[in-house]
């Protein structure tokens, strides 16, 4: 057979065509694009319904609300990548925030030591739950459901009879109450845009050196220009109000760190391997129980960090901290952003994007003055829709042999 006969056609099924893009979107491969489309629709609807939605004041408040929820969602993403679930993250966030507040306010601890104590408590909880679930081979949803109930009771015991602990130490309140000066916000935004550009350029150079197919120049340019424009516009908007929130930088920093861990380290590759096929991972020499336990430790520690950020923003911890719809929102965000409930698929950046989508819905409904009953039903519907899309995309991948 001649070489010409074996040459693939100029435009293959995987080529840069609209049909290919739509197929990849339907199969969940373009999760970021899907999230951006959903976010654009949500913002458009609420902007039409309430002119205050897109104001700098409200968008800054939205950033503050997203920071704490997104921090908890990072841990949820890690657990979902394993194909597991953690129903206790909300209760853990409330309990660890209560521990921090009581140690700082009632026992006079140094605020930084109190924060560390809250984080250590979260890590200990994750170690306990992960060990029980893995060593005794109990489904994680059962273990963490028990934890949800137990940790809520512990939170009530820690808070005591008053039920509320007001926080006024600047070291704690400044976590959510600090905003960068305008010039510093611009500097951070420009630096972030530059880092994204450098990373994209390095990845393209590595692909070229390996002889791999390169994406079209237009697509490559959009990957650099679009995030840069989004970052700089966001900085400009929040600078019209109080400036870039420190808590948002904490969230973005944590997301970046865990994105590197999951994509650039052996531990991160092991998480995906266990989530994709635990038995195959075990046969490949991966210490599956250790990976699962470590992930549950990280998830509970991040839940504790999120609870501390919530307490910093609200200036108090009470009996309802970590309750209400926090658990639902923390899980719904990553799922909406494309993290599979079946394990092995998704990225850590989904925690940030998903939290922004979910919190935008909650923020918009608050501005419209909708009742809590409506908010719960809408959020539940969004979660069900996201799970349904994930299941449909998974079936399409299986049908075409691209699981």
Contact between 344 and 276 (Cβ < 8 Å):
yes
| pLDDT value of residue 397 | 61
Q: Do residues 258 and 211 share a domain?
A: no
Instruction: Give the distance, in angstroms, between the CA of residue 60 and the centroid of all CA atoms in the same chain.
Output: 19
Q: Do residues 80 and 167 share a domain?
A: yes
Tens-binned pLDDT, residue by residue, of the chain (403 aa): 444 444 444 444 444 454 555 455 555 455 566 777 788 888 899 999 988 898 999 999 999 999 999 999 999 999 999 989 999 999 999 999 999 999 999 999 999 999 999 999 999 999 999 999 999 989 999 999 999 999 999 999 999 887 889 999 999 999 999 999 999 999 999 999 999 899 889 888 888 888 888 777 887 888 888 888 888 988 999 999 989 999 999 999 999 999 999 999 999 999 999 998 888 999 999 999 999 999 999 999 999 999 999 999 999 999 888 887 888 889 888 888 888 777 778 889 888 888 998 899 888 998 888 888 888 888 788 778 777 776 776 676 666 555 5
Q: Do residues 276 and 201 share a domain?
A: no
Please identify, among 244, 267, 299, the residue that sits at the C-terminal boundary of a domain: 244
Instruction: Give the distance, in angstroms, between the CA of residue 51 and the centroid of all CA atoms in the same chain.
Output: 28
Q: Do residues 153 and 285 share a domain?
A: yes
Q: If residue 386 lies in a helix (H) or strand (E), which one and from where to where? A: helix 372-399
Closest C-alpha among 93, 28, 59 to residue 356:
59
Q: Do residues 240 and 250 share a domain?
A: no
Please identify, among 244, 261, 287, the residue that sits at the C-terminal boundary of a domain: 244
- Let me know if residue 1 belongs to a domain: no
CA–CA separation, 79 and 86 (whole Å): 7
- Let me know if residue 192 belongs to a domain: yes
Residues 6+ apart with CB under 8 A from 336: 35, 38, 354, 357, 358, 382, 383, 386
CATH label of the domain that carries residue 276 = 1.10.3470
Taking the CA of residue 118 as centre, how many other CA atoms within 13 Å lie in the half-sphere pointing to its CB? Answer: 34
Tracing tokens 């990849």 back to the chain, one arrives at: 24
Domain limits for position 191: 181-244
Q: How many domains does the chain have?
A: 2
- Let me know if residue 195 belongs to a domain: yes
- Let me know if residue 327 belongs to a domain: yes
């Amino acid at each position: 057979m001649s070489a010409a006969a074996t040459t693939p056609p100029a435009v293959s099924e995987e080529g840069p065509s609209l049909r290919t893009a739509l197929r990849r979107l339907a199969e969940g491969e373009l999760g970021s694009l899907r999230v951006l489309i959903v976010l654009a629709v949500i913002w458009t609807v609420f902007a039409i319904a309430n002119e205050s939605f897109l104001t700098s004041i409200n968008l800054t408040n939205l950033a503050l609300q997203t920071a704490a929820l997104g921090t908890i969602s990072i841990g949820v993403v890690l657990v979902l990548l394993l194909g597991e679930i953690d129903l206790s993250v909300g209760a853990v966030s409330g309990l660890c925030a209560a521990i921090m507040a009581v140690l700082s306010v009632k026992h006079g601890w140094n605020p930084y030591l109190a924060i560390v104590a809250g984080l250590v408590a979260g890590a200990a909880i994750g170690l306990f739950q992960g060990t029980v679930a893995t060593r005794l081979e109990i489904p994680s949803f059962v273990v963490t459901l028990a934890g949800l109930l137990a940790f809520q009771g512990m939170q009530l015991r820690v808070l005591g009879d008053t039920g509320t602990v007001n926080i006024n130490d600047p070291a704690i309140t400044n976590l959510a109450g600090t905003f960068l000066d305008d010039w510093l916000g611009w500097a951070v935004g420009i630096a972030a845009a530059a880092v994204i550009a450098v990373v994209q350029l390095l990845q393209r150079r590595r692909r070229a050196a390996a002889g791999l197919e390169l994406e079209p120049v237009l697509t490559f340019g959009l990957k650099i220009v679009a995030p840069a424009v989004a970052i700089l516009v966001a900085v400009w908007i929040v600078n019209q109000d109080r400036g870039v929130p420190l808590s948002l930088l904490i969230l973005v920093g944590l997301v970046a760190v865990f994105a590197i861990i999951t994509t650039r380290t052996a531990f991160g590759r092991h998480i995906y391997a266990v989530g994709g096929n635990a038995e195959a991972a075990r046969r490949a020499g991966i210490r599956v129980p250790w990976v699962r336990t470590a992930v549950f430790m990280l998830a509970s520690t991040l839940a504790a960090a999120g609870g501390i950020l919530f307490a910093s923003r609200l200036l108090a911890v009470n009996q309802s901290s970590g309750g209400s719809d926090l658990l639902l929102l923390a899980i719904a965000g990553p799922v909406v952003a494309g993290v599979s409930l079946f394990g092995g698929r998704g990225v850590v950046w989904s925690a940030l994007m998903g939290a922004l989508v979910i919190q935008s819905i909650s923020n918009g409904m608050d501005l419209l003055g909708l009742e809590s009953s409506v908010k719960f039903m809408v959020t539940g519907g969004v979660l069900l829709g996201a799970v349904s899309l994930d299941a449909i995309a998974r079936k399409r991948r299986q049908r075409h042999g691209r699981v």
